[in-house]
């Protein structure tokens, strides 16, 4: 079995956050989740996360999905792996991948290729490396004809060694039994007084075991950040990578200004993403749909050939051939079915809008089941909350809701029901019936002249001054 140990105990003081550094988000996704996703895609599910600073946040975030162990004292990378020794002893056969929890851009192909290289070469340890044009600040890989002889830190390099471009990424593949045998041999005989996992390489070599390195084609695996400015760089790097991936897959982006797309989003070829659009979480967008400009979607599914212009949607489902916006909010539980139209300044919450239905403008639809081919007039709403209980409205197929209608839930409109403009409907309207709930107009002579005396005087003075 292949194990994974993620070292996530660091505080990241310069982040100035109450949470662990590994919960800092890149494109709305915590760093730890970027790393876990890569391991899952590589087929590794036996994962242990070593926590430290503010561990309660990580424990809550992982919510029992993976084992966590607590590193009470931060005494180096070797000490962090020692904390996970019991986890390793549960699955001692096979390999263990060790990875720093603050480098989000590890990818599944690099993990799989490194494990395969490790097995084929029968290594005790394999260092995952990268080749950089500017390797300054990184430990250099010292290669031999039969593997590697160690890792030389920048400050200890000779002039020739400083020219080496292959560097240590901080990710290792160990034979698990060899790692368990080596951990007790690590010492703190260094200036920092810490246990270093890199010392395990020297120990294994001294015992005649084989150490090697596997170069990752993805240079970004070494990228991490120590402060908010560094996080900005990571976010921009990730944003560019995600956009490039979708462009390669046939998504149309005519201008990338303001576009943010989650790494977990799925966008079909021939969809179009317009500027200033944010797509967060696990969104799914169908072919031919146009999202934006100025839309913000989170965990939302959109069918094919739909248009969402200046729409805010959170955990919603939009069908195919829909036209929504501008200035529409789709709140949790909204389901917009095929061929529906939702116009400007509309809010829909926990409601189903049937096929071909039009909710044109200035409407609120909450906790309602709306049938097919229904028309909402301007300014209509469902009053779904009485201050204590939320109730639902039911609106049948082919109904017509007149302008400024208030539907007081719970209320039902039958098939092809009609409500008169300005009505407040509190009782059922049967199939094919007209519901009228408004008082007869009455005009009171001379009332306005008395009521508006001050207003009329003000208008008179304004006209005199400006004539």
Question: Which residue is associated with the tokens 């029901």?
Answer: 417
Does the annotation count 246 as an active-site position?
A: no
Backbone angles phi, psi at 461, to 5 degrees: -65, -40
Mean pLDDT of 450-467: 86
Please report which confidence band the pLDDT of residue 64 belongs to, taking 50, 70 and 90 as the band edges: confident
Query: How many CB atoms are closer than 10 A to CB 254?
Result: 9
pLDDT at 82 over 80: yes
The pLDDT, as a whole number, for residue 362 is 97
In order, the DSSP letters of 182-230 are HGGG----STT----TTHHHHHHHHTT--EEEEE-S-GGGG---SSHHH
pLDDT by residue (tens digit) across 126-170? Answer: 999 999 999 988 999 999 998 999 998 888 889 999 999 999 999
The pLDDT, as a whole number, for residue 15 is 86
The pLDDT, as a whole number, for residue 317 is 97
pLDDT at 467 over 80: no
Pairing mode of beta strands 46-51, 67-70: parallel
Q: Which one from 117, 246, 341, 361 is the annotated catalytic residue? A: 361
pLDDT at 440 over 90: no
Please report which confidence band the pLDDT of residue 465 belongs to, taking 50, 70 and 90 as the band edges: confident
pLDDT by residue (tens digit) across 90-117? Answer: 999 999 999 999 999 999 999 999 999 9
Q: CATH classification of 2-222 is 3.30.360.10, yes or no?
A: no
Name the percent of the chain lying above pLDDT 70. 100
The pLDDT, as a whole number, for residue 332 is 96
The pLDDT, as a whole number, for residue 49 is 96
Helix (H) or strand (E) holding 347: strand 346-349
Q: How far apart are CA 449 and CA 397, in angstroms?
A: 47
pLDDT by residue (tens digit) across 392-413? Answer: 999 999 999 999 999 999 999 9
Mean pLDDT of 63-92: 93
**What are 435's two structure tokens?**
């519901």
**Start-to-end Cα distance in the chain:** 91
Mean pLDDT of 303-326: 97
Q: How far apart are CA 413 and CA 405, in angstroms?
A: 12
pLDDT at 11 over 90: no
The pLDDT, as a whole number, for residue 47 is 97
pLDDT by residue (tens digit) across 285-304? Answer: 999 999 999 999 999 999 99
Tell me how far CA of residue 360 lies from CA of 71, 315, 320, in angstroms: 57, 22, 18
Please report which confidence band the pLDDT of residue 65 belongs to, taking 50, 70 and 90 as the band edges: confident
Average pLDDT across the chain, whole number: 94
What is the arrangement of strands in the sheet containing 352-353, beginning at the earlier edge strand?
A: 266-267, 284-285, 301-302, 317-318, 335-336, 352-353, 368-370, 393-395, 411-413
CATH architecture, range 228-435: 3 Solenoid (2.160)
Q: Are 143 and 213 in contact (CB under 8 A)?
A: yes
Q: Where are the domains of the chain?
A: 2-222, 228-435
């Amino acid at each position: 079995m292949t194990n994974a140990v993620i070292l996530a105990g660091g505080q990241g003081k310069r982040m100035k956050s109450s949470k662990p550094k590994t919960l800092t988000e890149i494109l709305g996704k915590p760093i730890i989740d970027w790393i876990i996703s890569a391991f899952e895609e590589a087929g590794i599910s036996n994962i242990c996360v070593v926590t430290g600073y503010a561990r309660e946040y990580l424990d809550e975030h992982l919510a029992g999905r993976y084992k966590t162990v607590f590193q009470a004292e931060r005494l180096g990378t070797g000490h962090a792996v020692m904390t996970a020794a019991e986890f390793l002893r549960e699955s001692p056969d096979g390999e263990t991948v060790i990875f720093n929890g603050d480098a989000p851009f590890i990818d599944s192909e690099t993990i799989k290729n490194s494990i395969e290289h490790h097995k084929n070469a029968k290594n005790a340890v394999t260092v995952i490396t990268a080749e950089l044009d500017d390797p300054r600040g990184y430990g250099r890989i010292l290669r031999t004809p039969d593997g590697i002889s160690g890792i030389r830190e920048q400050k200890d390099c000779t002039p020739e060694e400083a020219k080496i471009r292959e560097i240590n990424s901080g990710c290792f593949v160990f034979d698990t039994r060899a790692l368990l045998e080596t951990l007790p041999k690590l010492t703190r005989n260094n200036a920092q007084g810490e246990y270093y996992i890199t010392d395990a390489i020297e120990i294994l070599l001294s015992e005649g075991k084989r150490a090697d390195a596997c170069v990752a084609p993805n240079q970004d695996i070494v990228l991490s950040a120590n402060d908010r400015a560094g996080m900005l760089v990571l976010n921009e790097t990730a944003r560019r990578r995600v956009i490039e991936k979708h462009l390669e897959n046939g998504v149309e982006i005519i201008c990338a200004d303001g576009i943010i797309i989650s790494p977990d989003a799925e966008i079909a070829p021939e969809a179009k993403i317009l500027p200033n659009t944010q797509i967060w979480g696990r969104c799914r967008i169908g072919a031919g749909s146009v999202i934006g400009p100025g839309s913000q979607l989170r965990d939302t599914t959109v069918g094919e050939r739909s248009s969402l212009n200046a729409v805010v949607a959170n955990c919603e489902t939009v069908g195919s051939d829909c036209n929504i916006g501008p200035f529409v909010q789709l709140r949790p539980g909204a389901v917009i079915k095929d061929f529906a139209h939702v116009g400007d300044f509309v809010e829909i919450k926990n409601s189903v809008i049937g096929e071909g239905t039009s909710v044109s403008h200035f409407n609120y639809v909450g906790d309602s089941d709306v049938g097919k081919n229904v028309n909402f007039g301007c300014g209509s709403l469902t009053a779904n909350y009485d201050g204590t209980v939320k109730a639902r409205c039911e609106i049948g197929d082919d109904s017509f809701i007149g302008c400024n209608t208030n539907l007081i839930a719970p209320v039902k409109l039958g098939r092809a029901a009609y409500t008169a403009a300005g009505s407040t409907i509190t009782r059922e309207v049967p199939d094919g019936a007209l519901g009228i709930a408004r008082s007869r107009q009455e005009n009171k002579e001379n009332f306005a002249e008395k009521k508006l005396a001050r207003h009329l005087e003000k208008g008179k003075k304004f006209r005199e001054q400006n004539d």
